[in-house]
């Protein structure tokens, strides 16, 4: 869990997301904010690559299936199983947010 300091609201992607113009469904209500940064205040079980107090960046793509044609071609953003920040996952425009520790950058 991060204490989320800021997150981008990109004009076009966020409009597409909130209008439902993308070829996949999103869980509404969603929290926007695609590329937030924040300080880790709590870690999930078994996480050893990050520690409390680390300041991290969270990319848009937090995970994908890794097995489909798009992932195998190195284009996971086309994967319909992707988990994107501010899309399928709650974004950074909140006081706190959850992120996949393995997706974050120091
Ligand atoms: Zn895939």
Per-residue pLDDT for 10 more than 60? no
On average, the pLDDT of the chain sits at: 86
User: Residue 38: what pLDDT?
Assistant: 93
Q: What is the mean pLDDT of residues 45-62?
A: 94
CA of 53 to the centre of ligand 1 (A): 32
Q: What is the enclosing helix (H) or strand (E) of 2?
A: strand 2-6
Compute the distance from residue 26 Cα to the ligand 1 centre, in Å. 17
Q: Are 61 and 76 in contact (CB under 8 A)?
A: yes
Alpha carbon distance 58, 5 (integer Å): 11
Q: Which domains does the chain possess? A: 2-103 (3.90.180.10)
Q: What is the pLDDT of residue 19?
A: 73
> Is residue 26 over pLDDT 80?
no
Please state the pTM of the whole predicted model.
Answer: 0.81
């Amino acid at each position: 869990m991060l204490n989320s300091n800021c997150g981008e609201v990109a004009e076009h992607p966020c409009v597409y997301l909130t209008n439902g113009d993308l070829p996949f469904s999103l869980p509404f209500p969603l929290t926007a904010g695609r590329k937030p940064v924040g300080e880790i205040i709590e870690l999930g079980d078994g996480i050893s690559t990050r520690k409390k107090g680390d300041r991290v960046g969270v990319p848009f793509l937090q995970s994908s299936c890794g097995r489909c044609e798009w992932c195998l071609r190195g284009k996971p953003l086309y994967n319909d199983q992707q988990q994107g920040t501010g899309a399928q996952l709650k974004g950074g425009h909140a006081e706190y947010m959850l992120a996949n520790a393995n997706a974050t950058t120091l």
